[in-house]
Structure 1
């Protein structure tokens, strides 16, 4: 049986692998990626000198996506399985002091939020500030959110509540929270014994609906498409495609794989389905799809890794990522499992 520890370890590992695999292809189109890296991106590459964010990084090095995800995992660990907006504010400020990530990778919403948080503004005000539709509606809250699902195995609503709190200081809008809640809910659902892609997709859609409501009622409502309905469309494209390559092109073209949460999060679910839920194939699909490839991969592979556990994650790829980034993901997973909160009576994976 796959234990909860196996699933949490698999989720963190797959997310980091996908982040590193997608870093060199970020902001590139599918034709450009195939010209530079081949039909599919199946191995780690050093980002090319013209890479807008990752230039100068080495093969298998992670970016802002999984670096913030791991910081969030440590925040849950340090606070007994829960975080508050104030904890999140401290996390973001601490992350901004890391020269490996913040100067190169921080997005516009996150940069603005950190500036205001450093100035002492209330986290509950910062994430819902703004008067343009893109502010707070990007995928920065969703990219890091997998631990909110991992600490609530089988508890979709608990995962959504936790995801919402992680978004408050930076992405407190209907769309920003909907995207994060979809990823957290799917990750939580994937941690249950007997779960399959149907359960995961259903949880993602439900999470998006709940998150949109929380973001609208407590944050700022911005114009934009429904994350839940775009998940439906992304999954439809995945199952109607001839093969993985066709699905990658359809999802990238119709849904988009860009910075908006209403693109990246549905695309992550669609690519997860197109890859059959396999962690490494999911990472490959996201890296090949381009756009915000590292973010989409980090989110999608986190779900896939939780669904299948650490044994489904290629050991060689994991070793390369851990060595390149000086990570001990087994240790993080062990500590995160210790603070996880399965629902009473829920058939979540055994603790291990």
Structure 2
């Protein structure tokens, strides 16, 4: 290397641009929706089946598994999964954003009863998979219809309404907004999501909702990395959920691309997953409360984030090609990668196709949530200062 010329001004090292809060919220919500749309058409299949159907790994947006027969082909008829259509994961995520826009403060289980359930049963919206305008309730699966049954018809205490529902990822899949409202405050996100999810889930399904929200909040921290996100999850997660994340994270550390990790990750998560080897035919012990088990989706999404070193495209494609409940896995990994790196991390051609195909403005919910998040932070600061003043008075230390 030639010696430095003291008469020349050295070229400054480019500074890494740290995404703003609004950018992270946009990246997370758009990233979640795009991951959802990519995973939808191959949901329920194995990596081997996916490769056979598509002549290799899925590398972008693909059409329905059964082509033009999607209206009648079992087991998923009459849903048009594919061609850039979002699924119930995104429908529920956007519905929760609307609740935040109404309440304009932190949420709890009562907000689900008072605002989310009415949203699902009173306002028709465009449902991409039905290619029709319909009530969101008409697209939801039974685990989500449970919200309406228990809260609207059963008048159950919202904090306990999730008890008795099948234990799955139904509540976790739409908890990204809770993490974003609590950006850089994982413990706050965890607590709020547990309260919100109590109306929907119990046991490790509810726990996964709390941990996923915490992961999204952790990903919003200015110095966040995939490793720091996972470490935060491990510091908060309980029981089987914590053990599952720890196990798959160890497996992920041995891989730097998703292809070689697909089999080992499934093997690692199997002891914690109650569904069993056939995703379409769950075992008799599936989805029952347990302190030993975990949903499959969150640990695998975190593993894919680690393997991809936070790269959005690779984390989502790894999630999609994992198969099984891959739309929810890709929703989670997409939300986390988007929160880490901002909106520019999400391939623009993917997001544009999904927005057009699904007839959705993917950026509008993010704009709304960013405004609400600022309002909530202002309220939190005022509440904190009121508490500080009261505490000083209690301890004799006048302000």
Counterpart CA distance in 2 for 1:235 and 1:182 is 15
Aligned to 1:23: 40
Q: Give me the TM-score of the superposition, normalised by structure 1.
A: 0.85
Q: Is the 8 Å Cα contact of residues 24 and 48 (structure 1) preserved in structure 2? A: yes
Counterpart CA distance in 2 for 1:4 and 1:181 is 21
Q: How does 1:312-351 map to 2 (within 5 A)?
A: 312-340=345-373, 341=376
Residue of structure 2 aligned with 1:263, choices 284, 296, 303: 296
Aligned to 1:166: 196
Q: Which has the higher contact order (CA 8 A, sep 6+)?
A: 1
Aligned to 2:59: 42
How many residues in Structure 1 have an aligned counterpart in Structure 2? 322
Unmatched segments (≥5 aa) in structure 1: 210-224, 345-352
Counterpart CA distance in 2 for 1:295 and 1:92 is 21
Q: How does 1:92-131 map to 2 (within 5 A)?
A: 92-95=117-120, 100=130, 102-106=137-141, 108-122=142-156, 123-128=158-163, 130=164
> Secondary structure at 2:296's aligned position in 1?
helix
Structure 1 residues 3-48: Cα deviation after superposition (integer angstroms, max 9, x where no partner): 0111000001110111000001111111101101243211212222
Q: Which of structure 1's runs of 4+ aligned residues deviate more than 6 A? A: none
Aligned to 2:90: 66
Counterpart CA distance in 2 for 1:62 and 1:325 is 6
Q: Which has the higher helix share?
A: 1
Between stretches 73-82 and 257-266, larger displacement belongs to 257-266
Distance 1:167 1:5, change over 3 A: same
Unmatched segments (≥5 aa) in structure 2: 1-17, 67-72, 131-135, 280-286, 288-293, 382-399
Q: How does 1:1-352 map to 2 (within 5 A)?
A: 1-49=18-66, 50=73, 52-53=75-76, 55-89=79-113, 90-95=115-120, 100=130, 102-106=137-141, 108-122=142-156, 123-128=158-163, 130=164, 135-171=165-201, 173-209=202-238, 226-241=240-255, 243-256=257-270, 261-340=294-373, 341=376
Report the CA distance between 1:102 and its aligned residue: 4.2
Report the CA distance between 1:183 and its aligned residue: 0.8
Structure 1 residues 75-100: Cα deviation after superposition (integer angstroms, max 9, x where no partner): 11221132221221341453356664
Distance 1:291 1:200, change over 3 A: same
Distance 1:27 1:3, change over 3 A: same
Counterpart CA distance in 2 for 1:236 and 1:43 is 28
Aligned to 1:349: none
Distance 1:43 1:51, change over 3 A: farther
Between stretches 260-269 and 317-326, larger displacement belongs to 260-269
Distance 1:51 1:184, change over 3 A: farther
If you compute each CA radius of gyration, which structure gives the higher value, 1 or 2? 2
Counterpart CA distance in 2 for 1:110 and 1:8 is 25
Q: Is the 8 Å Cα contact of residues 17 and 317 (structure 1) preserved in structure 2? A: yes
Q: Give me the TM-score of the superposition, normalised by structure 2.
A: 0.75
